[in-house]
Structure 1
Amino acid sequence: MHVVPDPAAAVAPAIAFDDFMKVDVRVGTIVAADPFPQARKPAYRLTIDFGPTIGRKRSSAQITEHYTPDDLIGRQVAAVVNFPPRQIGPFMSEVLTLGFPDADGKVVLVTPTVGVPDGGRLF
């Protein structure tokens, strides 16, 4: 996760369904989670397995308030997989892991409530 938007911000302008379909949101399983001490804000470096078609991708995620690295291993998460990679300090983040702010603005991950195949696309 790169930017935490203001939860009180106005609703974004309407878009066409075709615009929504351009954003490729997939589910994957976290296979590695490591502290990221070089990040400006507390974060983890994640490796997420999106299945055989997409493979494993890396992400920087500011999720240290609610999760430990051990809590994250094996957890399925949603991520945008078709943004260009982004340099976060010495780390190249390849996907945007998705979450919502809690009442204090801390990130809560978007996860399926039932296990689904890695690589499944949000619709």
Structure 2
Amino acid sequence: MSGTADPAPQIAWDDFAAVDIRAGTVIRAEPFPEARVPAIKLWVDFGPGIGEKRSSAQITRHYDPAALVGRQVLAVVNFPPRQIGKVMSEVLVLGLPDPDGQVVLIGPDSPVPNGGRMF
């Protein structure tokens, strides 16, 4: 065994194209202490056509709510809303695990228009 992960199963291009991943700017962020796992409530502006959407993210290890305001993130915007405690999460903000399994957000490294679609 080489120590590398097994390759992911292949999917069709249409499967990938069905996932709508957009850039948005965090316009508000608040602690979510009543969540089962510590989290932050986010309000993200995806620009005209999509607008402002809410999310809950388990990102407290690396992020302070006040420091998130103005940060651009990537999120899946076409999942159905999901109730997370008292928050209706409308989008899935994307991240990757650090070596300890804690989420690190992903986003553009230069400013892009809100609502820009990943392709």
Query: Please, which runs of 5 or more residues in structure 2 have no aligned partner?
Result: none
Shift of 1:9: 6.5
Q: Which residue does the alignment assign to 1:51?
A: 47
Q: Which residue does the alignment assign to 1:94?
A: 90
Q: C-alpha separation between the residues in 1 aligned to 2:5 and 2:82?
A: 25
Q: C-alpha separation between the residues in 2 aligned to 1:13 and 1:82?
A: 22
Among candidates 20, 25, 30, match of residue 24 of structure 1 = 20
Q: Which residue does the alignment assign to 2:73?
A: 77
Q: Which residue does the alignment assign to 1:5?
A: none
Q: C-alpha separation between the residues in 2 aligned to 1:114 and 1:78?
A: 13
Among candidates 29, 32, 38, match of residue 42 of structure 1 = 38
Q: Which residue does the alignment assign to 1:108?
A: 104
Give the number of equivalent residue pairs. 116
Identity between Structure 1 and Structure 2 (%) = 66
Shift of 1:10: 4.1
Counterpart amino acid of residue 23 in structure 2: V
- Structure 1 moving runs of 4+ over 4 Å: none
What's the RMSD between the two structures over aligned residues?
Answer: 1.2
Q: Report the secondary structure of 2:15's partner residue.
A: helix
